[in-house]
A and B are shown apart, each in its own frame.
Chain A
């Protein structure tokens, strides 16, 4: 299982500014290791974010996303106490879900 995501949600009025950092190598399949062998493709393909169980943001991405990906998005209508859940899945089937409860002034 991969390392936990770092998720931060800042409320500005009723808009939650969400920033997430995922721990993932995002190998492009073109890089060679020290022995000169190609490192196989290994990258996050899909991301789903839910606010109180409703899907608000999804992403399908390629290996062109940088290593340890950072994404930010904004959700209108969010409030203190809302539960934000983010899931990613990579091309090997590995996946991870992390959750955050939106707090005042956090």
Chain B
């Protein structure tokens, strides 16, 4: 009797563990399915922007890019981006002269402020182009970053 009860407790514990981890593991699956492979593999900024769906972005001064004018180490270039466009839901980043310019898209919802800080690798001096999306429209601005030591090769 004692043996049986032990094994039941063990089995129950395993099921509970599975429920906990199963739930956690399921969440990122949806995000991964949406990862835009075509855009990330585009080798020039025009194709990358087209693949992301922001090719028709209009110039805007309401997007702030804070990045060093001259980055000593291209392997770690800090960038702060703030969109002052009301209703901004996402921010996309392109480093024009990197081998693959599309660096990423950040989506904001449920009270998240349209601000992001990230650190990127920049292979050679290049404009960093940011596109903010608000109300289905795209707005863009760019800032030149000069790099003295590239951050992509070895």
B113 near A15 (CB under 8 angstroms)? yes
Q: Which of B25, B75, B105, B112 is A73 in contact with, Cβ under 8 Å? A: B112
Give chain B's interface secondary structure class: mixed
> Told that A31-B153, A45-B35, A67-B75 touch, could you supply 6 new A-B pairs with CB distance under 8 A?
A30-B152, A48-B27, A62-B102, A66-B76, A74-B113, A89-B28
A73–B25 alpha-carbon span in the complex (Å): 23
A56–B90 alpha-carbon span in the complex (Å): 11
Chain B residues, Cβ within 8 Å of A59 = 104-107, 116
A75 near B111 (CB under 8 angstroms)? yes
Chain A residues bordering chain B, tally (CB within 8 A)? 41
A55 near B113 (CB under 8 angstroms)? no
A95 near B112 (CB under 8 angstroms)? no
- From known contacts A56-B108, A60-B31, A75-B112, infer whether A66 and B151 are also in contact, taking CB-CB under 8 Å: yes
- Residue A23, interface by CB 8 Å: no
B112 near A60 (CB under 8 angstroms)? no
Query: What are some 10 contacts across the A-B interface (CB < 8 A)?
Result: A48-B31, A59-B106, A59-B107, A60-B35, A62-B103, A64-B100, A65-B120, A72-B115, A73-B112, A74-B113
- From known contacts A73-B116, A76-B112, A77-B111, infer whether A57 and B106 are also in contact, taking CB-CB under 8 Å: yes
- Residue A28, interface by CB 8 Å: yes
B121 near A65 (CB under 8 angstroms)? yes
State which residues 72-89 of B face A: CB under 8 Å.
Answer: 75-77, 80
- Residue B8, interface by CB 8 Å: no
- Residue B6, interface by CB 8 Å: no
A69–B112 alpha-carbon span in the complex (Å): 20
A71–B103 alpha-carbon span in the complex (Å): 13
A56 near B112 (CB under 8 angstroms)? yes
Chain A residues, Cβ within 8 Å of B76 = 66-67
B28 near A95 (CB under 8 angstroms)? yes
A83–B3 alpha-carbon span in the complex (Å): 40
- Residue A70, interface by CB 8 Å: yes
CB of A74 to closest CB in B, whole Å = 4
A87–B28 alpha-carbon span in the complex (Å): 7
